[in-house]
Amino acid sequence: PRVYLNGEFTPLSQAKISVLDRGFIFGDGIYEVVPVYGRKPFRMAQHLARLERSLAAIRIPNPHTVQQWQDLVGKLIETSDAQDQIVYLQLTRGVAKRDHAFPAQVVPTVFGMSSPFARPSAQARRDGVKTVSMPDERWLHCEIKSTSLLGNVLARQFAADRDVPEVVMFRDGYLSEGSSSNVWVVKEGRLLAPVKDNLILEGIRYGFIEDMAAARGIALEMRPISRAEVDAADELMLSSATKEILPVVSLDGKPVGDGRPGPVYARLREGYDEAIARL
């Protein structure tokens, strides 16, 4: 497959960066993951707005206009025959002599690739997924979509070691998120979500689920959610670009609600599928 690196499309095997790239040396970069359905990007404007926010947060100048980013994503989609794709974009501060402080003159490294998107299986959608809990041990700027993902990597491996696809993390006794997904709680027909602050990444699906809840008359409360509330939930859900929305049917081996995907999940799932079909 062909990938984009610093202005050129090259075969993946020939795309090379310097070992002094600050992405490699420090994890000094940010990224985006844009799902593509039927060759059309989903919620592209929101992804590009978050890219802009991530860049601003770590003071990397945005080297492209929105139009240029859209054109790049369009060209990345053309590198693949797949109908459904995952477009990955990454920027690092660039290549410079190793020193923690920002280099004076540096050009950001821009990388992009598209991969076929294996959507969640019919089984995962129908039967839900199992999760385990763990303390959130990450830093205090989880709102930045940074490539510095060691905390998330270790969290995801904690799940993998227990043969489940995702963790549910708690910081100081309150729900934060998964290793690579937002977490949703349903109690008595109301949807609860952790506050969009520095302790979670605001998923593009977070905003989409907010919109769907408003359109479908599902009450949504964004507030701190205690461990006790999660344990007493009627439903739990995960959302991310690659997971879309998935029902969580167990946490630490205990069933969530009646142990089956619930009605609020079903309504949001329907909304998700409708939005994709309308693209």
Q: Report the catalytic residues.
A: 145
Q: Token pair for residue 36?
A: 């593509």
Residue 131 touching ligand PMP (CB under 6 A): no
DSSP 3-state of 187: strand
**Among 157, 189, 151, CA closest to 171:** 151
CB of 148 to ligand PMP, least distance (A): 12
What is d(CA 203, CA 226) in angstroms, rounded to the nearest whole number?
A: 20
Q: Measured from the CB of residue 181, what is the shortest distance to ligand PMP in angstroms?
A: 5
Residues 205-234 that bind ligand PMP (CB under 6 A): 205
Nearer to ligand PMP, 86 or 264 (CB): 86
Q: Count residues contacting ligand PMP (CB under 6 A)?
A: 13
Q: Which of residues 29, 167, 180, 213 is near ligand PMP by CB under 6 A?
A: 180
Residue in 181, 193, 248, 269 binding ligand PMP, rule: CB under 6 A: 181
Let me know the angle formed at the C-alpha of 89 by 86 and 92, rounded to the nearest 5 degrees: 155
The 10 Å Cβ neighbour count of residue 179 is 24
Residue whose CB is less far from ligand PMP, 58 or 106: 58
28 lies in the binding site for ligand PMP (CB under 6 A): no
Residue 217 C-beta: closest distance to ligand PMP, Å: 23
Distance between CA atoms of residues 177 and 205, nearest Å: 13
Using a 10 angstrom Cβ sphere, with 0-12 exposed, 13-18 middle and 19 or more buried, the burial of residue 67 is exposed
By CB under 6 A, name the binding residues for ligand PMP: 33, 152, 177, 180-182, 201, 203-205, 239-241
